[in-house]
Structure 1
Amino acid sequence: MKKIILTVLALSIFITSKAQDGETPEIADNATSEVKLNALFMVVGAFDVTYEYLLNQESGLGIEVFVPFDEEIRDDINYYVSPYYRLYFGKKYAAGFFLEGFGMLNSIKETTFDFSQTVFDGPVIEREENITDFALGIGLGGKWLTNSGFVGELSFGIGRNLFNSSDVSEDFVGKLGITLGYRF
């Protein structure tokens, strides 16, 4: 957690010092990278960071990594890694309303109980199993961009796991984000 806070603080200091050159900073026409942090998940106990490479004014490729650090969230999900492609419909370069197609390698912790034993024969047996699956999904959202390069996003997506379809595993996965970042 300390590393996360130090990284965000260092990024903020760098951005602030760059913005104090005496001129109004403008995003370079060749700014093609974004680094973003999901503020919503930081509040609830997970680290969710995204890197996006902008292909042109209408599209971008990215990868999102989600790792929980709170025990309550870690009880349900171990991690996910989600590459995506976005198509933008705004007037600014790679900003505005977007549609997203994504894949998601996800791992969950599933707890099952064996009730075949009665109270008189022995205790109920609890089993924990890590299940890894891959999902395909779609999403939508909006991206806002300031002249100095700060990025804000609201996004939502839903996908379906392709493997491990059983009573134990989850069939659907979701993505939700209130994301803040910087374009460089």
Structure 2
Amino acid sequence: MKNYGCACLLFFAVLASQAQNDSISNREFGNNEIKLNAIMLLLGSFEPSYEYNLSESSSVGVSLFIPFDDENFDVSTNYYISPYYRIFFGQKYAAGFFLEGFAMLNSSDREHYDHSQEGNYKYWEEDVTDFALGFGLGGKWMTRGGFVFEVTGGIGRNLFTKSNDDYYNYSPIVGKFGFNLGFRF
């Protein structure tokens, strides 16, 4: 019951913050944003982002994902570079609810198992590079001082590598999610 109450309180706090009418305009800050995904940093990966605001309702950006802690963060992805385009539906300049379309050049380790008729099997890993297209959604908030934070999530599909019985850990689906913290300048 306590968790239900906390969830309701958080929900109403988010709604109240969306309903406020701030006078933050583009003239107070520039069109550039740099951000860092705090969730991925805690899990053992580095994911910085750069975003350029094209207008009050659209922006383009790019994010880079590099894992650095393989022991605690079991991920088969070696890296990805993901350009994106966002359309905003909020009242503030390049903030509020958004929809995102993204592309992703990604490299991952694929594990192979080959079983022989004698009962033996052979195992090896292969680095596979692929290209994915996807979509996402999220919300972005900005303080009067230019501090930006956003919650985002997205899903896409790799286009070139086909599923194969020899791949042990292959999935054509890719995902992006995070809680990004940054600054608009």
TM-score class, shorter-chain normalisation, is 0.7 to 0.9
SS of 1:170's equivalent in the other structure is: coil
Shift of residue 125 of structure 1? 1.5
- TM-score, with structure 1 as normaliser: 0.80
> Is the 8 Å Cα contact of residues 153 and 180 (structure 1) preserved in structure 2?
yes
Within the candidate set 132, 137, 146, 2:134 is matched to 137
Separation of aligned partners in 1, 2:83 and 2:75: 24
> Is the 8 Å Cα contact of residues 29 and 184 (structure 2) preserved in structure 1?
no
Separation of aligned partners in 1, 2:75 and 2:177: 19
Shift of residue 170 of structure 1? 2.3
Give runs of ≥4 in structure 1 deviating > 3 Å. 26-30, 72-75
Shift of residue 118 of structure 1? 3.1
- For 1:29-108, list aligned pairs within 5 A: 29=28, 31-72=30-71, 73=73, 76-108=76-108
> Is the 8 Å Cα contact of residues 62 and 84 (structure 1) preserved in structure 2?
yes
Q: Which amino acid is 2:103 matched to? A: G
Number of residues of Structure 1 aligned to a counterpart in Structure 2: 157
Give CA-to-partner distance per residue, 1:144-171, whole Å, 9 cap, x none.
0000000010001000111011223421
Separation of aligned partners in 2, 1:75 and 1:156: 17
| Paired-residue identity, % | 52
- TM-score, with structure 2 as normaliser: 0.79
> Is the 8 Å Cα contact of residues 98 and 142 (structure 1) preserved in structure 2?
yes
Q: Which amino acid is 2:157 matched to? A: R
> Is the 8 Å Cα contact of residues 29 and 146 (structure 2) preserved in structure 1?
no
